Amino acid sequence: AYVDVLKCKLKCEENLKPNVGGYFVEKFVATVYHYLQFAYYKLNDGRSAVPCVYSYFLFEPEDQVMKQNLQYYKAYSEQWGLQTDHFAPRREAFRHYNQTVAQKQMLTFAEMYLKMNDEDFLGPEEAALLAPESPDAEFEGIGDYEESFYAKWRQPRGKGDAGESES
């Protein structure tokens, strides 16, 4: 079941794509850092913008537009007052990236080396179809647990009636 949790966590961003203005946002986490970088740039806050560029690169390392943005910040780093420590991802982005990488590695390990039963891959309904006997086999036949219940229904005849039957 933990493997299912890992799969769910790793597909979370894909499965929970936000719909903004009628458009689904692909690569949501990376997009957040792209817009955050742009917002800081518009506020003339290069010291906050550059870490967003590096955060974006964690998720989309080959993006040409962001590479151009980075070249701009490097070219004008003196005017922006940038130091070498600004040229690194934000802490929360780095933590999220490392957690995602670790989860991918754990899932790969689990799929390769841990023995899984059919339910882990198929789900309980499909696995039951492949099972040699019914999962309810122990309850079938004489003495079925449902047969052990016996109720004698007594309908009350009127207001205040205790429901005793006529004999």
User: Is pLDDT of 26 > 80?
Assistant: yes
User: Which pLDDT value is given to residue 63?
Assistant: 96
Q: How much of the chain is in helix, strand and coil states, percent to nearest 5? A: 60, 0, 35
CB count in 10 Å sphere of residue 70: 18
User: Is pLDDT of 161 > 60?
Assistant: no
Alpha helices in 23-130 (DSSP H): 28-42, 46-59, 64-75, 77-80, 91-113, 118-122, 124-130
Percent of the chain at pLDDT exceeding 90? 50
Which band of pLDDT confidence, cut at 50, 70 and 90, is reported for residue 17?
confident
User: Is pLDDT of 82 > 60?
Assistant: yes
Which band of pLDDT confidence, cut at 50, 70 and 90, is reported for residue 148?
very low
Q: What is the pTM of this model?
A: 0.65
Spell out the domain ranges in the chain: 9-90
Which range has the top average pLDDT, 51-65, 113-127, 129-143? 51-65
